[in-house]
Amino acid sequence: MKLTTAQFKKDFLSEIETLYSTSLDDTTTIGQFIALGQLVRRYNSQSWTRTAKLYREHHQKQVYYFSIEFLPGRLLASNLLNLNLLSIVRKGLKELGLDFETISRSEPDPALGNGGLGRLAACYMDAMASLKIAGNGNGIRYRYGLFKQVFMDGYQVELPDDWLHHGNVWETRRDNKSCIVRFGGNVWLQPQPDGSLQAQYENTDDVLAVPYDVGIVGYHNDITNTLRLWSAELPPSVTQTYYSQAQRDRISEISKVLYPDDSNSAGQQLRLRQEYFFSSAGVQSIVRDFCATHHGMRSLGKKIAIHINDTHPTLVIPEMMRLLMDEHHCSWDVAWTLTTQVMSYTNHTILQEALETWPIGMFQGLLPRIYQIIVEIDRRYRAQQTPIFGKALVDLTAPLGNGQVRMAHLAVIGSHSVNGVAPLHTELLKTDVLRGLYQVYPERFNNKTNGIATRRWVQLANQPLSQLIDQTIGSSWRRQPDLLQTLLPYQQDDHFLHQLAQVKLTNKQALAAYVQRTMGIKLRTDAIYDVQIKRLHAYKRQLLHVFEILREYFVIKDHPDQPVVPRVHIFGAKAAPSYHYAKAIIKLINVVADMVNQDPVIGDRLKVVFIPNYGVSIAELIIPAADVSEQISTASKEASGTSNMKLMANGALSLATYDGANIDIMQAAGAENEYPFGLRVHEVYDYYQRGNYRAAAFYNGNPELKRILDSLINGTIPGIPTVGREIYDSLIRYNDEFFVLADYQAYVKQQQQISQDFQDQPTWQQRALANIAASGHFAADLAVARYADDIWQVPHDRLN
Ligand code: GPK
């Protein structure tokens, strides 16, 4: 939009005046943020209204992305970037004596997700708007986000994340779009005079779902899509006063907190209530909107696409069936055809414990009508497929089995498309996790490799790099990230490589300043910044990284006078509060960090920083400063990874196993520009099949490794008698489930290679550039365009 600096200043001051009835110098930073947010909303309000109208008038097919997690990050800067107002606002504020970055940092970062899955959903929202796809998000407005992490005595402590304390400037409550979601009670089918059956309910627990809409601004295209987040409230009723406190609590609990357990199927009833709550409210509002503009249901499949992001929203399938049959009087067959036309599903993990199942007893009690529908889906599936595939396979793959409702099976059976998130992952879905269903529906399976919002992760997070790229190849890459390829010839340009090194230095200085200010640790900026940022999970093997730190520590202690290439090891990770082992590793990292950081012999040659409360905003600070990207999961376990893509786009070289999208990064940027190592998937599977993995053999066969492991239990690392023993036992006594010891030697070899290679800065920067240049490959815009073409069948802008 068009705006002068003078106009902006005038508008901003008047916003302050309207909101606070006082002058600018009498406001707080958060107050200034809220005023600025309101103003940006006002600037964008026509676009939001117009977008909705445009889609309606053109009868554009709508995509609804259902996700129990969204991690949008702070929105002020990204909205301004997309509205093309960032530099005007920055300049205007400066003229008013204010600093944009300071104001921006006061914005709460909504932690409505755990990790990769939730951030992916947010990157895709941004991409849909930027591609002019009529894309809507559908999720939960958690009153409290993922816990705030602090360390006390090195242990993780969880504090509530009161992100709505000052309200949320970006949201609009829409009471007129509320709907009722029913739980529990009794249900029966009542024959009607016309012979049809009508579902009757009694004694249900009703919850009012109220939507809060957040505008998602497209990049320089005057499009604003909607992310709809549902909040659970008491239904309006004359008898409202008779709700007992217990009933009130049960209702408000539904949208109170995000489940902090990621990659783990939480068995709790509340989780199932959350899942049905946002699935039902979302589908009801979709069908209501659809009916307002269409006659009958016939064209539903052509006008609506519903995407199921992991299994949590799978109940959209029986819920759509319920609405079509019970409220719109479709036959089963018509309803089923429409439902499967509309639905598509993405799987994000092969970990068994993350595949959701619900005990039938609990499910039936909580969702009796939905359960009836699932029973019928199950019955028909068995009747149809048994003659073709036999009873054994059908038992294995049906929606109901072993006394459980199996969400992944229901999602595959009720969708027309099932995708994994990297080629290897999709292959493992076909051959392992969902192989039975792949036999039944081979045509449904496809791959959609994950992507990242380059706008946030490069343009906003790394402005020094973005400016250098602009100066070098012009600014078209900002719309078409694949143009980053044209940077590759600058591998031969010494001046450019020098500037690239300067950019990295600037970013390291910014991170070092943050670490100094918040943790009191002083970091050298000429060290290798070796970064591992992701959820704390055994399969992601932060432990392997700790072993490398201990190895480096012992090298210096043994040979204090020998020169070493300085390193800074940086961690960011939250552990699920109930994940005992992950919390033990957090304690270990913190203890090792103290031991190393305080040792005068070590000095500034080796530092370890575990930055607390990792999330989107801290990632934006760490990623641009990274030299080395640790992507060291056990081969087969990381479905894709997305921090690997963000780090490469910022010029970090991957130290990576042959897992998930690491493989694709190596292909795109050239393996010679990364540090691959470790077991391949087939070797991991061979160990499983043969049962011949012996962790102790690696321990006994490698004195260096033995010394490291022994240091966990012999007092070398002080203050971890229990934690150290527990970790030691997991490796030796319980035979190292994730093959940490098997990969140790190959990992260390690459780490040593890194120390050597880093000293040749021109060559290192050439390789960093190869990564940046190849990163366009992983732009979310491209990934979403593939979803649009292959799965949702919706039109979109071309990226040129
Ligand atoms: C996968 F199953 C899950 C989950 O519950 N949470 C989550 O963040 C991640 N994921 C995968 O672990 C990553 O490999 C992947 O890149 C990400 O989802 C997005 O697909």
In tens, the pLDDT along 63-80 reads 999 999 999 999 999 999
Best of 309, 349, 665 for a ligand 1 pocket test (most atoms within 8 Å of beta carbon): 349
Report the nearest-CA residue for atom 4 of ligand 1: 263
In tens, the pLDDT along 417-431 reads 999 999 999 999 999
Q: Is 222 helix (H, G, I), strand (E, B) or coil?
A: coil
* Banded pLDDT at 192 (limits 50, 70, 90): confident
Report the nearest-CA residue for atom 10 of ligand 1: 117
Burial of 186 (0-12, 13-18, 19+ CB in 10 A): exposed
Q: Check whether 267 has a pLDDT greater than 90.
A: no
β-bridge pairing 62-66 and 135-140: parallel
Residue of 657, 431, 422 whose CA lies nearest to 539: 657
Model confidence, pTM = 0.98
- Which residues neighbour 40 within 8 Å (Cβ) at sequence distance 6 or greater? 76, 79, 80, 83, 85
* Residue 535 alpha carbon to ligand 1 centre in Å: 10
The per-residue pLDDT for 238 is 57
Report the nearest-CA residue for atom 18 of ligand 1: 117
- Mean pLDDT (the chain, rounded): 96
Q: Per-residue pLDDT averaged across 431-449, rounded? A: 98
* Residue 582 alpha carbon to ligand 1 centre in Å: 17
Instruction: Measure CA of the first residue to CA of the last residue in the chain; give whole Å.
Output: 20
Residue of 712, 704, 751 whose CA lies nearest to 731: 712
Q: Check whether 126 has a pLDDT greater than 60.
A: yes
- Look at 800 and 778; give whichever has higher pLDDT: 778
Ligand 1 atom closest to the CA of 660, numbered from 1: 14
CB 487 within 8 A of CB 469: yes
d(CA 409, CA 393): 12
Q: Check whether 536 has a pLDDT greater than 60.
A: yes
* Residue 359 alpha carbon to ligand 1 centre in Å: 24
SS in 3 state form for 330-391? CCHHHHHHHHHHHEEEECCCCCHHHCCEEEHHHHHHHCHHHHHHHHHHHHHHHHHHHHHHCH
- Which residues neighbour 267 within 8 Å (Cβ) at sequence distance 6 or greater? 359
* Banded pLDDT at 241 (limits 50, 70, 90): low
Ligand 1 atom closest to the CA of 262, numbered from 1: 5
The catalytic residue positions are 348, 534-535, 540, 642, 646
d(CA 662, CA 654): 8
In tens, the pLDDT along 741-758 reads 999 999 999 999 999 999
CA 362 to chain CA mean position, Å: 29
The per-residue pLDDT for 2 is 84
Report the nearest-CA residue for atom 7 of ligand 1: 117
* Residue 311 alpha carbon to ligand 1 centre in Å: 12
Ligand 1 atom closest to the CA of 421, numbered from 1: 20
* Banded pLDDT at 262 (limits 50, 70, 90): confident
Say how many CA atoms lie within 13 Å of 146 toward its Cβ.
28
In tens, the pLDDT along 373-395 reads 999 999 999 999 999 999 999 99
In tens, the pLDDT along 638-677 reads 999 999 999 999 999 999 999 999 999 999 999 999 999 9
Percentage of the chain lying above the pLDDT 70 cut = 99
Return phi, psi of residue 408, to 5°: -65, -40
Ligand 1 atom closest to the CA of 351, numbered from 1: 2
Report the nearest-CA residue for atom 1 of ligand 1: 348
* Residue 405 alpha carbon to ligand 1 centre in Å: 22
Best of 123, 146, 348 for a ligand 1 pocket test (most atoms within 8 Å of beta carbon): 348
Best of 263, 541, 643 for a ligand 1 pocket test (most atoms within 8 Å of beta carbon): 263
Got the DSSP string for 515-575?
HHHHH-----SSSEEEEEES---GGGTHHHHHHHHHHHHHHHHH-TTS----EEEEEE---
* Residue 119 alpha carbon to ligand 1 centre in Å: 9
Return phi, psi of residue 191, to 5°: -65, 135
In tens, the pLDDT along 194-223 reads 888 889 999 999 999 999 999 999 999 999
- Look at 788 and 267; give whichever has higher pLDDT: 788
Q: Which long-range contacts (CB under 8 A, 24 or more apart) does 390-394 make?
A: 393/436, 393/439, 393/440
Q: Ligand 1: residues within 6 Å at CB?
A: 114-117, 120, 262-263, 310, 348-349, 354, 421, 450, 638-642, 660
Give me 22's structure tokens: 């006082």
SS in 3 state form for 640-654? CCCHHHHHHHCCCEE
Ligand 1 atom closest to the CA of 641, numbered from 1: 16
β-bridge pairing 528-533 and 653-656: unpaired
* Residue 348 alpha carbon to ligand 1 centre in Å: 5
Give me 324's structure tokens: 């079509």
* Residue 117 alpha carbon to ligand 1 centre in Å: 5
Ligand 1 atom closest to the CA of 638, numbered from 1: 14
Report the nearest-CA residue for atom 13 of ligand 1: 641
d(CA 263, CA 113): 12
CA dist 104 → 34, 87, 637 (Å): 10, 14, 37
Ligand 1 atom closest to the CA of 120, numbered from 1: 19
Ligand 1 atom closest to the CA of 310, numbered from 1: 2
* Residue 476 alpha carbon to ligand 1 centre in Å: 31
Ligand 1 atom closest to the CA of 263, numbered from 1: 5
Residue of 388, 387, 383, 406 whose CA lies nearest to 396: 406
Task: Name the helix (H) or strand (E) containing 139.
Answer: strand 135-140
Global ipTM: 0.98
* Banded pLDDT at 487 (limits 50, 70, 90): very high
* Residue 770 alpha carbon to ligand 1 centre in Å: 26
* Residue 69 alpha carbon to ligand 1 centre in Å: 11
Report the nearest-CA residue for atom 19 of ligand 1: 117
